Amino acid sequence: MLDSNLVNDLVRLLRRGVDSSLDDDAFGAWAVRIFAYQYAHNSVYARYCQGRGVTPDTVRHWSEIPPVPTSAFKELALVCGSRREAQAVFETSGTTRGTERRGRHYVLDLTLYDESLLPNFHAHLLPDREGMPMLALLPSPLAAPSSSLSYMLGCVMDRFGTPGSTFVVEPDGHVRYDDLHKQLDQLGNAGSPVCLLGTAFSFVHWLDRLTAEDRRFRLPAGSRIMETGGFKGRSRVMERDELYESLGDRLGIPADHIVNEYGMTEMLSQFYEPVLRWRVTAASPRLGGMRPRGPDATNVAGGTGLHVPPPWVRTRVLDPVTLEPVPRGEVGILQHFDLANLGSVCAILTEDLGVLEESGFRLLRRIEGAEPRGCSIAMDELLAARGAAST
Amino acid sequence: MNRSEAKVSEGEVIGVRGMEERGGVGATFDAWYWPPETSSPQETQVLEGPRGLRLCAPVLTTEALRALARTLRAARAEILLDRNVDEIVAAVSAAACRFLDTADPVRAMALDLTGRLTGYSAAMSELVLDGMARDWLEGPLRRLLTSEFDDPGVLDGFRPGPAGSRVRAFGPALSFHVGAGNVPGVTLTSMVRALLVKSAVVVKPAAGDVALPTLFARALAQHDERLARCIAVIYWRGGQEDLERAAMEEADLTIIYGGEEAITALRRIAPPQASILPYHHRVSFGVIGRESLQGDTAAETALAAARAAVIFEQRGCVSPHLYYVERGGQRTPEAFAEQLADALRRLEEELPAASLDAEEAVAIHQLRGAGELRRAAGAGVTVYRGEQAGWTVIYDESPSFEPSCLNRVLRVKPVSDLADVVPLIRPYRRYLQTVGVAGAGGRLAGFAEELGRAGVTRVTSLARVAWPPSWWHQDGLAPLRAMVSWVDLEPGD
């Protein structure tokens, strides 16, 4: 059980919403307070920090708190207390080979997930309304209890989904396209805008089908999309620009109503592109010049690639070799500090590349299971061999 | 070739344009060589190569590629078949010498490009180029020939065969070589082997190994213009199925170096009659027996083990991913791990590490962090690490075979007895290649037998791990014999 005073205080902080400000000192105070708690209640993490010469007494700034790499979630249970008390265990997605170890995030208190998720989602997907019909191209949380994304969308749908909202993917992965299309026709006839949610891959798959059937929807104005995730282990890869163009063509949803969400199983908080939010609040700086150029441009998520953290998350961009912070504008690995991760570890070293910006970071590329560049075989291939040999 | 014959300006020799870094635009390398009498490409394009180097290559159509193949095939009939093997060896060797002549601009360019393409330090580029180029010289090429053929003259004409017969060996008229990018020079070795069996070659190097085949072709053209008419080197980004299918249709043999995915993709589009010789990605490792863990030898063993992995920055198929260390010697496996770390630290001065790209560095930090957490959880793990991402040793008591993320990342795992290694590696039999063994003493032959039964194709000393001899049975094959077909001339009645 997590310390209830700490949970309550944290929930109060999250309820202040995404527009509240938390300056570096205030954030730091929170970070150190939670670090001390995690240090005291997660002996593995405590020994890891000792190994790096860091204890709650030595930390002068939150950035000194040792991050754990995402891959560590594959090796151990990183939890403050007993994993048996977890209310949910979220697993990282595997590749299609399905042979590698999966990361597990033991979530002791889902309240923190919900309280972090809802205001942030609302601000970025529903800045102009309190609710709308939601169709998720994913299995429901009941069908996929270990998927943090299914849980997230279930939570969002419970709170913001109006009647007709549903998950259109069966537990076995079968997509009920007929139902989906019928729903869209009905909503379209009623002039009711809709929010579609899914992984980039699920949209690509659907678009392939719409193209094959030469079918188009003209979804009512105000319709929107939340897309997330990459193409890990998928045979069909589509560039982001092409995807957005195709979504515009087949569904009639303009790029400024397509919001990329960047989240990870290892974190309870998420990041969104503020395209829709800024458009609606008219607080938008001009986005035209922000589209990155160069070799990474094709991998940029969404229209701008800019992702904004909620006040209770800080992101650092580190030199991939030295792990020292890089100057603003330079590419590095993202390291997040998520206060909502009270029950596991707040400081997470990712495998994702990005660039620090004034109001967040630009996500450049998710390095998904980087493969060794040798004429040695990839980890995945080797593990597949082991899988095959043992069956 | 002596120096006076090589008075050509650097630009002419290597075809590197704009080595000045104009306004952030990096250097551009002309990553192709066509036989001189073919019409030069209509159009070229500049592609992003590794680490900022740009690669200029012809925009190829399948028609142009087929025309090129016909030209090469004709040149082979006219030129290659007319040469005897000794002459080919001499010409190849003369061109390859230029990679080793410290005063030659070809060597300078090869070193510069190797550094740019791989991120290797200057010292590593030199070590690798020297090691690879040695095998393209006369002596090693002859040893390769005599290892494969009792009389290499079978490549020149009929020679006495069994029971009064005479036999003759022909290489493929045209071979298509698809290279991998991990170790510079491997693609050129494949090309040289084909020339030895008098095959004209179309070479599609990977970006990471594009320099040496191209530079070699140009050097050969200067030394022996006619022979170089049997060679084309063209870089294109893999996955252009129309070109790849056309090349496989034109060639009598396709030799592919690469991962499962690349090989499968090419096999899928290959014409049914295509003959394909794949060299898959492999894993190698080392085994340290207790005889090498004595007080006075252990440090030496550790240094040899470190060096074996450091060469090629661990990216070679021969490069060890991990070391199994036997218990019961004077030094424990754990103490050996520490000595290995020490050796890696010392090697940093002699062979500074490569500049890593983000993905490579990220993989190292992930592995280290996860290792440290496992240690914190009491898993019998110790992580030794250099500055930044330089080198990493992870001592790990769990014996399972685990590949490295490369770039000087080595696991050390204890075993009670050498023989205990065999069941651990058996599941990976189709991927296994080199095992560097130290301190097996009188057990070596028996141990090698067991390793061979488990799928290993090369057992050697730590010092030799990185440098298989020119005649090695790469992945269990005789590389020249794998390319030839035989003609038997049986005795009359």
Answer whether A71 sits within 8 Å of B376, measured CB to CB.
Answer: no
ipTM of the complex: 0.86
CA distances from residue A130 to A19, A122, A126, A159, A306 in whole angstroms, order as listed: 17, 8, 7, 9, 24
Measure in Å the smallest separation between the Cα of A287 and chain B Cα atoms.
Answer: 25
Measure in Å the smallest separation between the Cα of A244 and chain B Cα atoms.
Answer: 25
Residues of chain A positioned with their CB less than 8 A from the CB of B312: 374
d(CA A330, CA A317): 8
* Residues B420-453: tens digit of each pLDDT: 999 999 999 989 999 999 999 999 999 999 999 9
pLDDT of amino acid B385: 95
Question: With 70 as the cut, is the pLDDT of residue B390 above it?
Answer: yes
Nearest CA in chain A to B409: A372
Answer whether A51 sits within 8 Å of B319, measured CB to CB.
Answer: no
Question: With 80 as the cut, is the pLDDT of residue B14 above it?
Answer: no
pLDDT of amino acid A376: 41
Sorted by sequence, the CB contacts under 8 Å of residue B400 that are 6+ apart come out as B413, B424
Residues of chain A positioned with their CB less than 8 A from the CB of B280: 377
Residues of chain B positioned with their CB less than 8 A from the CB of A317: none
Measure in Å the smallest separation between the Cα of B48 and chain A Cα atoms.
Answer: 8
The helix or strand, by DSSP H or E, that contains position B219, with its residue range, turns out to be: helix B211-223
Sorted by sequence, the CB contacts under 8 Å of residue A184 that are 6+ apart come out as A135, A194, A217, A219
Residues of chain B positioned with their CB less than 8 A from the CB of A333: 358, 362, 365
Residues of chain A positioned with their CB less than 8 A from the CB of B430: 385
Answer whether A375 sits within 8 Å of B180, measured CB to CB.
Answer: yes
* Residues B369-383: tens digit of each pLDDT: 999 999 999 999 999
Residues of chain A positioned with their CB less than 8 A from the CB of B372: 48, 51-52
Q: Among partner residues B377, B388, B404, which is closest to A372 by beta-carbon distance?
A: B404
Residue B400 CB: number of other CB atoms within 10 A? 11
Residue B393 bridge partners (DSSP) = B384, B410
Which regions in chain A score pLDDT beneath 50? 95-99, 233, 283-303, 369-377, 388-391
d(CA B408, CA B120): 12
**What's at A253, amino acid-wise?**
I
Measure in Å the smallest separation between the Cα of B318 and chain A Cα atoms.
Answer: 8
**Can you name the CATH fold of B283-475?**
Aldehyde Dehydrogenase; Chain A, domain 2 (3.40.309)
Contact by Cβ (8 Å): A329, A361: no
pLDDT of amino acid A97: 43
Measure in Å the smallest separation between the Cα of B94 and chain A Cα atoms.
Answer: 29
Mean pLDDT of chain B, nearest integer:
93
Domain locations in chain B? 3-281, 283-475
Question: Do the first three CATH levels of B3-281 and B283-475 match, i.e. the same topology?
Answer: no
3-class SS of residue A89: strand
Q: Which residue has the higher pLDDT, B489 or A366?
A: B489
Answer whether B365 sits within 8 Å of A74, measured CB to CB.
Answer: no
d(CA B233, CA B33): 5
Measure in Å the smallest separation between the Cα of A67 and chain B Cα atoms.
Answer: 9
Q: What is the mean pLDDT of the segment spanning B350-377?
A: 94
Nearest CA in chain B to A331: B358
Residue B54 bridge partners (DSSP) = B28, B48
Q: What is the mean pLDDT of the segment spanning B81-108?
A: 97
Q: Among partner residues A373, A377, A390, which is closest to B360 by beta-carbon distance?
A: A373
Nearest CA in chain B to A74: B370
Residues of chain B positioned with their CB less than 8 A from the CB of A386: 427-428
pLDDT of amino acid A301: 37
Answer whether B403 sits within 8 Å of A51, measured CB to CB.
Answer: no
Q: What is the mean pLDDT of the segment spanning B245-254?
A: 98
C-alpha radius of gyration, chain B, whole number? 24
Torsion of CA A218, A222, A228, A234, to 10 degrees: 0
A110-306: CATH architecture: 3-Layer(aba) Sandwich (3.40)
pLDDT of amino acid A305: 84
Measure in Å the smallest separation between the Cα of A109 and chain B Cα atoms.
Answer: 23
Q: Helix H segments across B297-398? A: 298-310, 333-350, 358-376
* Residues B28-37: tens digit of each pLDDT: 999 999 987 7
pTM: 0.89
Answer whether B404 sits within 8 Å of A349, measured CB to CB.
Answer: no
Say which CATH class B3-281 falls into. alpha beta
Length of chain A counted residue by residue: 391
Domain locations in chain A? 110-306
Measure in Å the smallest separation between the Cα of A210 and chain B Cα atoms.
Answer: 26
* Residues A263-319: tens digit of each pLDDT: 999 999 999 999 999 888 764 444 433 333 333 333 333 446 899 999 999 999 999
B interface test, pick of A68, A92, A333, A376 with most B CB neighbours within 10 Å: A376
Residues of chain B positioned with their CB less than 8 A from the CB of A366: none
pLDDT of amino acid A148: 94
Number of inter-chain CB pairs under 8 A, A vs B: 156
Answer whether B370 sits within 8 Å of A321, measured CB to CB.
Answer: no
What tokens does B218 get? 């140009």
A interface test, pick of B372, B381, B382, B396 with most A CB neighbours within 10 Å: B372
Q: Among partner residues B182, B316, B366, which is closest to A71 by beta-carbon distance?
A: B366
* Residues B320-352: tens digit of each pLDDT: 999 999 999 999 999 999 999 999 999 999 999
Residues of chain A positioned with their CB less than 8 A from the CB of B388: 321-323
Terminal-to-terminal C-alpha distance of chain A: 40
Measure in Å the smallest separation between the Cα of B259 and chain A Cα atoms.
Answer: 7
Confidence of residue B3 (pLDDT cuts 50, 70, 90): very low
Contact by Cβ (8 Å): B199, B287: no
pLDDT of amino acid B25: 52
Answer whether B281 sits within 8 Å of A48, measured CB to CB.
Answer: no
Q: Whose CA is closest to B431, among B239, B265, B263, B205?
A: B263
Question: With 50 as the cut, is the pLDDT of residue B306 above it?
Answer: yes
* Chain A residues bordering chain B (beta-carbon distance below 8 Å): 43-48, 51-52, 67-72, 74-76, 78, 295, 320-323, 331-333, 349, 351, 353, 367, 370, 372-379, 381-382, 385-386, 389-390
Nearest CA in chain B to A235: B261
